[in-house]
Amino acid sequence: MPTEVPPQLVDAIRTLAVELPVELVLRVAQAFGDAEGSSPNQLDAQVLASLVQLAPREQVRGLLGLWRMVAPSVPPVAIGLALQTAARTAESFRQEQSLELVWTGPVSDVIPLRRTDQALLQLIHAAQRRLLIVSFAVYKANAIAQALVQAARRSVAVDICLESPSASEGKVTYDMFAALGPEVQRHARLYVWPLDQRPVSTTGHHGSLHAKLAVADGQTLLISSANLTEHAMTLNMEMGMLVSGGEWPARVAQHFQRLITAGQLRAVERADHRPSAPSDRG
């Protein structure tokens, strides 16, 4: 009957594969396989000799100790195979999708966080082909506007969808596209959600374009509570998620393209807009 591997050993192997670079884990796995038949001291020495840096060595030393304590009958070759499988699985998952929290506000040491403006600018600067930006409000977003112009100048197709004064029924009082500046208006394709395409409540109120997101090349997706405003990027408490890889960035980009094709999002002619002075709010 096969020896059962205790859950704590499985968890330790998985943690090692997730936290260490794949090449290091594969090196350790190979060392376990090569050490089959060695004495415990020889095996430990061979496995630890496969690593140079202190921190990974200590993690592997902990795995060796746990293995001998909870599952000494599991052969070294089995530990090596388990490490190899876990490393390849973790590598595949990292390539398919990674998630990172994005935050503006008070910090703590509980989870690692990326600032909202940093994540958005990284996404814009990384775009090579297509860039989609959707937001409710825009105000004093100079760094973002400059990054959008730079993207357009390196031949990135930039689509921007914002709330508009005419369709918002008083929720916004100034031209969002004008707030991005004339250079962005010249280089980007601009879209709004027309009033005649919005659902209406029983009391006669129309829906709002309240989504805040950005997609680069169908590969990276930022979903956030933050508008494209100075306060949202520096003062407010805002949280979002940066999704790299996987299916969702491409699917979100395709979803908005379908809305444009269907006429639910409509291209803006600049003559239709009359800028007015915005209020200083986030």
Q: What is the pLDDT of residues 4-31, one digit of tens each?
A: 778 999 999 999 998 888 899 999 999 9
In the predicted model, is pLDDT for residue 276 greater than 50?
no
Q: Determine contact, residues 191/161, Cβ cutoff 8 Å.
A: yes
CATH of 105-272, one of 3.10.28.10, 3.30.870.10, 3.30.300.10, 3.40.50.1010: 3.30.870.10
Pick from 127, 123, 128: which is nearest to 102 by CA? 123
Q: How many C-beta neighbours within 10 Å does residue 191 have?
A: 23
pTM comes to 0.65
Which of the four pLDDT bands, split at 50, 70 and 90, describes residue 2?
low
Helix-, strand-, coil-residue percentages of the chain, each rounded to 5: 50, 20, 35
Q: Measuring CA to CA, how many Å separate 21 from each of 10, 88, 97, 244?
A: 18, 11, 16, 18
Listed as own residue / partner, the contacts of 85-90 with beta carbons closer than 8 Å and 24 or more positions apart are: 86/13, 86/14, 86/16, 86/17, 86/25, 87/17, 87/22, 87/25, 87/26, 87/29, 88/22, 89/17, 90/14, 90/17, 90/18, 90/22, 90/25
Q: For position 25, what pLDDT does the model report?
A: 94
First to last CA, the chain: 65
Q: For position 279, what pLDDT does the model report?
A: 40
In the predicted model, is pLDDT for residue 185 greater than 90?
yes
In the predicted model, is pLDDT for residue 273 greater than 60?
no
**Average pLDDT for residues 159-165, to the nearest whole number?**
92
Q: Measuring CA to CA, how many Å separate 277 from each of 43, 132, 176, 178, 183?
A: 73, 26, 10, 10, 18
Q: What percent of the chain has pLDDT over 70?
A: 94
Which of the four pLDDT bands, split at 50, 70 and 90, describes residue 117?
very high
The chain-wide mean pLDDT, for the chain, equals: 89
Within the chain, all domains assigned CATH 3.30.870.10 are found at 105-272
In the predicted model, is pLDDT for residue 272 greater than 50?
no
Q: For position 3, what pLDDT does the model report?
A: 63
In the predicted model, is pLDDT for residue 142 greater than 90?
yes
Which of the four pLDDT bands, split at 50, 70 and 90, describes residue 274?
very low
